[in-house]
Amino acid sequence: MDAAILEHSLKGGDGHQVPIDLPRFQQVVQYFKSQIANGSLTEHAPLPSERRIAEDYDISRMTARRALDALEAEGFVYSEDRRGRFVTPKRVSYDVSNMVSFVAEANSRGLALEIEVVRAMKSQADAILVEKLGLEPGAEVYAYTRLFRNNGHAIFVETEYVNAQRCPGFLEHDLHQSTTRLLEARYDLSASTGDIAILMRAATAEETSLLSLARNSAGIELTQIIRDASGRAFCFGRQFWRGEAARFSARAIVERSVND
């Protein structure tokens, strides 16, 4: 394909012209960004395969793969194992400094959030839970894992642990709801403060399966220890998000001494 044909092929539906002096893979990247921006490619729309892109734009499959990888790395597309790549939906906004339940807040903003309970069981505190929840080794805890979808698209997996002694019969309640609100309503345990950590890591085999991720994918882990007004921890949670699914934010409060 000569430069004139390539230039015509990489013209976005909004009339935006992709500069032909860019490397070929960047031309393809810019073309698809334009198609996504102007709505020609809508949320969850499939992108062409590496082979199709290579044929259409007269580039190698390696170059086509490089372009698709770049789009995915920037969050414009996401992968599903053995199904290909798709246009990323609008990111979910998550203010981690807001101690109101994420589920309740999401519902109040009109998000079509769906909860699937993967499993729920009584267990015993291991070394991690002893540290996080201030329990004695072997103390009973309730553990439950849930999968969250937004408009049918799996966005994160969450596992939470609560002190069984403080929350008797917890698993008898419906877990298809905000457990923060459940703990407050049924056990008078109100979230006052939380210790939050966010990091990037590889998905486990179960997370890969539940989120339909491509093998060896990475995502965002958010862990949170929820404490009551006395500072006593009563819930520890671990969320694993698809990397392109959320935009995390926080509000900083600057404390100044009287001498500043």
Where in the chain are the domains?
3-87, 92-249
pLDDT tens per residue across span 231-243: 999 999 999 999 8
Say what percent of the chain tops pLDDT 70. 88
- This prediction has a pTM of 0.81
The CATH number fitting domain 92-249, selected from 3.30.420.40, 3.40.50.2000, 3.40.1410.10, 3.40.50.300: 3.40.1410.10
Residue 150 pLDDT level (bands cut at 50, 70, 90)? confident
Report the alpha-carbon distance of residue 139 to residue 54 in Å, rounded.
58
CB atoms inside a 10 Å sphere around CB 41: 20
Residue 108 has pLDDT above 80, yes or no: no
Would you call 28 exposed, middle or buried from its count of C-beta atoms within 10 A (0-12, 13-18, 19+)? buried
Helix, strand, coil % in the chain, rounded to nearest 5? 30, 30, 40
pLDDT tens per residue across span 132-146: 999 999 999 999 999
Residue 15 pLDDT level (bands cut at 50, 70, 90)? very low
Is pLDDT larger for residue 95 or for residue 116?
116
- Residue 238: name the closest of 214, 206, 213 by CA: 206
- Residue 212: name the closest of 166, 158, 149 by CA: 149
Q: Tell me the pLDDT of the chain averaged across its residues.
A: 86
Is pLDDT larger for residue 173 or for residue 104?
173
pLDDT confidence of residue 119? 97
Residue 113 has pLDDT above 90, yes or no: no
pLDDT tens per residue across span 115-134: 999 999 999 999 999 999 99
CB atoms inside a 10 Å sphere around CB 241: 22
Report the alpha-carbon distance of residue 94 to residue 105 in Å, rounded.
9
Question: Considering only the top CATH level, what class is 3-87?
Answer: mainly alpha
pLDDT confidence of residue 10? 52
pLDDT confidence of residue 99? 55
**What number is the average pLDDT over the span 45-59?**
90
Residue 173 pLDDT level (bands cut at 50, 70, 90)? very high
